[in-house]
Structures are given as C-alpha cells and as structure tokens.
Amino acid sequence: MLVIVLSVDMNLKQFNDLYPDEKASRDFFASRKWKNDEAICPRCQDDVSSLFADGWRRKCSNCHSIFNPLTGTILQGTRISGRRWLLAIYFATELKPGVSATLLSEVLEVTPVTAQRMLRILKSKLALEVK
Ligand SMILES: [Zn+2]
C-alpha cells in the first residue's frame, strides 16, 4: 500500500514550491515507498539495485526485474505524470468535501474522462492519510 501524506494546510504556492517539477514529485513517491532511500525489489525483496539514467526505474541486482516506486501500487503503469498525480492528490485532500472532475481536468490539463478516472482511483483505492 502506498500511503500518501500531504499537509492539508499547505496552499497552492507552498505545494508548487515543494514539488516544482516531475523529479520532485517522483522523489516524493519514492520517499513514501522506501524508507531511507533504500529501494526494495518488489519481486524478491532484495535491497541492491541499480538506478537507470532516467532517475526513476531500477534494475534488481538479484532477480534483474525492473521496477520503480509505483510498481506494485495502483498507480503502476500509469501514463499520467507523477506531478499530475500528486497535484490531483493535493486537490482531492485540500478541497473538501471533494474536488470536481471538471475543476481537476482544467487544473491538470487532462480530459474530463481522465480526471474522473483519477478521482475514482484516488477515492477508492489509494490510502490518503491527512494530517
Ligand atoms: Zn529482485
């Protein structure tokens, strides 16, 4: 389970300062998945792996499987960027009782259908721990 913790008292400027780009967003997911930056292979649980040049994917030194911080989570294989997911999570937790798919679609610059799908995934499967 990938538990996402975002502070709800963060305004949008603070969010953008904290997660200005895709790398910062990916680092956020990696930090939530692996403690102390110790990447664990989801297949064999080995903790030795090499990082690809893209800074995201890893290859396990033991079983040679390729994985990233989202492997084994409901976001595995997503074609939506990490930053868009993180922004969707921010809006889903910040704007209570809930953000509309229309607003999310405009903010994330995705289709309304994609925004609706993202919200459905976030509401149904992803553990959102709000502090
Ligand atoms: Zn492995």
Q: Is the pLDDT of residue 6 over 70?
A: no
pLDDT of residue 95: 62
Task: Examine the domain organization and report whether 88 and 119 are in the same domain.
Answer: yes
Q: Tell how far the Cα of 60 is from the centroid of ligand 1, in angstroms.
A: 5
Task: Examine the domain organization and report whether 25 and 83 are in the same domain.
Answer: yes
pTM of the model: 0.76
Q: Are 87 and 94 in contact (CB under 8 A)?
A: no
For the segment 26-60, what is each residue's pLDDT rounded down to a tens digit?
A: 998 898 888 887 999 999 999 999 999 988 999 99
Q: In whole angstroms, what is the distance from residue 127 CA to residue 97 CA?
A: 16
Q: Tell how far the Cα of 77 is from the centroid of ligand 1, in angstroms.
A: 18
Q: Is the pLDDT of residue 112 over 50?
A: yes
Task: Examine the domain organization and report whether 25 and 86 are in the same domain.
Answer: yes
Q: In what order do the strands lie in the sheet with 66-67?
A: 49-51, 58-60, 66-67
Task: Examine the domain organization and report whether 100 and 116 are in the same domain.
Answer: yes
Number of domains within the chain: 2
Q: In whole angstroms, what is the distance from residue 33 CA to residue 42 CA?
A: 11
Q: Is the pLDDT of residue 17 over 70?
A: yes
| Averaged pLDDT, 74-91 | 88
Q: Is the pLDDT of residue 127 over 80?
A: no
Q: How far is CA 121 from the centre of its chain?
A: 12
Domain that holds residue 106: 3-34+70-130
Average pLDDT across the chain, whole number? 84
Q: Tell how far the Cα of 111 is from the centroid of ligand 1, in angstroms.
A: 36
Task: Examine the domain organization and report whether 25 and 60 are in the same domain.
Answer: no
Task: Examine the domain organization and report whether 19 and 49 are in the same domain.
Answer: no
Q: Which of 45, 68, 91 is the last residue of a domain?
A: 68
Q: Tell how far the Cα of 28 is from the centroid of ligand 1, in angstroms.
A: 22
Q: Is the pLDDT of residue 92 over 90?
A: no
Task: Examine the domain organization and report whether 40 and 101 are in the same domain.
Answer: no
Q: Tell how far the Cα of 26 is from the centroid of ligand 1, in angstroms.
A: 21
Q: Tell how far the Cα of 59 is from the centroid of ligand 1, in angstroms.
A: 8
